[in-house]
Amino acid sequence: TKITTEDVSTLTNRFRHSDLIFNRFLHDKTIDRSQVVIGYEDRFIGIHEIAFNEFRRVHEHEYGIPLHRIRYFKINGELVWDRSKRLDLLTGSQQLNVKSNSMKKNLPFCFTLPS
């Protein structure tokens, strides 16, 4: 089977899962993790927010949170990734067109979106 440029475009523009975004925050030194907030779904109380530096994954702590429960990430109070809205300002996913200059200026951290 031959892969077309359309196939490649579809693969590269897929919406990224929360585990990939979490790892991006963990390893990207250009992002100030102290400004990151994670919104996750608690089975009993609904959506709950926690600072990135306080978040514990399920394999790190007995009361850790599975990454599939993450619903959104915020930086400085601004939404940068949201599962339900399919918003992804971190990886340049084309699920939402964020190439306008005004949107780039308003990003809440120093990160440049791909052109």
Nearest to 16 by CA among 76, 79, 90, 77: 90
Report if pTM > 0.75.
no
- Domain residues for the domain of 76 are 5-105
In a domain, 113, yes or no: no
**8 Å CB contact between 66 and 99:** no
In a domain, 67, yes or no: yes
In a domain, 114, yes or no: no
Confidence band, pLDDT 50/70/90 cuts, at residue 107: low
Residue 95 has pLDDT above 50, yes or no: no
In a domain, 111, yes or no: no
In a domain, 112, yes or no: no
Residue-wise pLDDT tens digits, 33-69: 999 999 999 989 999 999 999 999 988 888 889 999 9
Q: In Å, what is the CA distance from 56 to each residue of 20, 23, 43, 62?
A: 16, 13, 16, 9
In a domain, 21, yes or no: yes
Tokens of 61: 């702590």
What is the total count of domains within the chain?
A: 1
In a domain, 110, yes or no: no
Residue 28 has pLDDT above 80, yes or no: yes
